[in-house]
Copies of this chain bind each other. A is one copy, B any other.
């Protein structure tokens, strides 16, 4: 085993060569040149800085080439004097000794590398329940580019055209669309009451209905008990308590959990979702020279005041940028999230921000709800597409608590209005007065979010 001692200049070591890690590296490099700061990054995979969120669209064929999902190659990072070591897995963090142990996955060689500053950006791993048959050929995750390529290979070769997607969250519904585009007959099996458990069930029902209209079968309230295999050992069906769903391909879309095995072994503080806990500057709590960001950390939900785990590239990029600024001697903070997410299944757009009803109840907030139908453009304008907006407001104070939108073109990004309003702590009555962009091709004279806010305002007044 070799040991790379710390050089005379400071050394920043980064574990994880994806969005958070490499954003941190890039920002730190902008702050300090190589004569002041050495940057070493370890990535166990074959790719750096790729868009995991883009994989469903590569599988679907919307994005033609895998490499389009790569924001920056290892070579590009190295040109900026970032020593990015690919296929090299960090196997231990020695906090007291300020060093990490790594293994070159090609040669099997171990090495210690010292650090002055450390960034943990180990990401998330897909939830993969210990079901019989889960490792059979024909069962696919969609977390990495290698996963995506393996799935595409299977889709080309599969004997039949029946696909089962396990899980009906973002990845599940996006993969349902992708499989549909490959000509598959798609069944989504889902433990929750409705697809998209990040929505309230009444809004999830709208997603269910729309997916039915696209020819996607959604089976809800059912847990998968096994993946059944054929004589050739390949997956042939997905079994639940009460049924079997034949499958030529099975896609796992059960979400992800923080990859914090290393951090846990090193005794670093983890939250109730298993993610690293940081301060506002993204420093691991209690550790001045260790930062963490991206899918491996928990973030503060500004509406509920609770920590949450949200794996999303946009947060990872922000974390990385802030970590890089701080590690590079600058200053930045990440105040928290409000839980905004957008997605689509074919032409159905789905968006949410803030609290669902159950979230509000969980933290003791009493609320009123308002649900309205409106359109993306003036009702008389061609292409005006329907949308349903549900809004939660705190009882008595009228503070906006959450918004969910299900609709067609032009629906999803309207959630940003609510996301900013939530961040600012506006009441639903204040939302009714917002000066939003209006012209017939872009909005009805009252934006749908404001139509919901008017109804919510009335509900607050009536609510006692």
Q: Which of B57, B62, B378, B435 contacts A423 (CB 8 A)?
A: B435
B437-A419 in contact (CB<8A): yes
Which chain A residues (254-310) contact chain B, with CB distance < 8 Å? none
Residues of B within 8 A of A415 (CB): 437
Contacting chain B: which of A94-102, A184-192, A193-201, A442-450? A442-450
B62-A382 in contact (CB<8A): yes
Q: State the copy count for this chain.
A: 2
Which of A314, A344, A353 counts the most B-chain CB atoms under 10 A from its CB?
A314
CA–CA, A438 and B352, complex, Å: 11
A437-B380 in contact (CB<8A): no
CA–CA, A315 and B437, complex, Å: 11
Residues of B within 8 A of A118 (CB): none
Residues of B within 8 A of A336 (CB): 435
Q: Shortest CB–CB separation between residue A352 and chain B, in angstroms?
A: 9
Residues of B within 8 A of A214 (CB): none
Q: Shortest CB–CB separation between residue A262 and chain B, in angstroms?
A: 25
Residues of B within 8 A of A382 (CB): 62-63
Q: Which of B317, B423, B435 contacts A338 (CB 8 A)?
A: B435
Which chain A residues (388-436) contact chain B, with CB distance < 8 Å? 410, 412-417, 419-421, 423-424, 426, 430, 432-436
Which chain A residues (363-390) contact chain B, with CB distance < 8 Å? 378, 380-382
Which of A53, A57, A438, A454 counts the most B-chain CB atoms under 10 A from its CB?
A438
Q: Shortest CB–CB separation between residue A20 and chain B, in angstroms?
A: 11
Which of A315, A339, A445 counts the most B-chain CB atoms under 10 A from its CB?
A445
- Also in contact, A57 and B435, with CB within 8 A (given A62-B382, A446-B317): no
B313-A443 in contact (CB<8A): no
Q: Shortest CB–CB separation between residue A329 and chain B, in angstroms?
A: 13
Which of A339, A417, A439, A445 counts the most B-chain CB atoms under 10 A from its CB?
A439
B412-A437 in contact (CB<8A): yes
> Is A340 an interface position by the 8 A CB rule?
yes
- When C-beta atoms are compared, the residue in chain B nearest to A420 turns out to be B420
A433-B57 in contact (CB<8A): no
Residues of B within 8 A of A351 (CB): 437
B420-A342 in contact (CB<8A): no
- Also in contact, A434 and B417, with CB within 8 A (given A51-B378, A63-B381, A381-B57): no
Residues of B within 8 A of A225 (CB): none
A437-B340 in contact (CB<8A): yes
CA–CA, A176 and B361, complex, Å: 53
CA–CA, A68 and B340, complex, Å: 36
- Also in contact, A423 and B416, with CB within 8 A (given A51-B380, A62-B381): no
B435-A419 in contact (CB<8A): yes
Which chain A residues (62-92) contact chain B, with CB distance < 8 Å? 62-63, 68-69
Residues of B within 8 A of A378 (CB): 51, 53-54
> Is A441 an interface position by the 8 A CB rule?
yes
B62-A413 in contact (CB<8A): no
With A51-B440, A333-B433, A410-B413 known, 5 other A-B pairs at CB within 8 A are A340-B435, A340-B438, A344-B439, A416-B436, A420-B436
Q: Enumerate 28 A-B pairs (CB-CB under 8 Å) in ascending A order.
A: A51-B380, A51-B445, A54-B440, A57-B381, A57-B440, A62-B382, A62-B441, A63-B382, A63-B440, A313-B445, A314-B438, A315-B435, A318-B432, A339-B435, A340-B436, A341-B437, A341-B438, A344-B441, A410-B413, A413-B442, A414-B416, A415-B437, A416-B417, A416-B437, A420-B424, A420-B426, A423-B434, A424-B424
Instruction: Please list the 8 inter-chain residue pairs (A to B) with the smallest Cβ-Cβ separation, ordered nearest first.
Output: A424-B424, A342-B437, A420-B420, A314-B438, A68-B380, A337-B435, A340-B435, A338-B435
Query: Which residues of A are interface residues toward B (Cβ below 8 A)?
Result: 19, 51, 53-54, 57, 62-63, 68-69, 170, 312-315, 317-318, 321, 333-344, 351, 353, 378, 380-382, 410, 412-417, 419-421, 423-424, 426, 430, 432-443, 445-447, 454
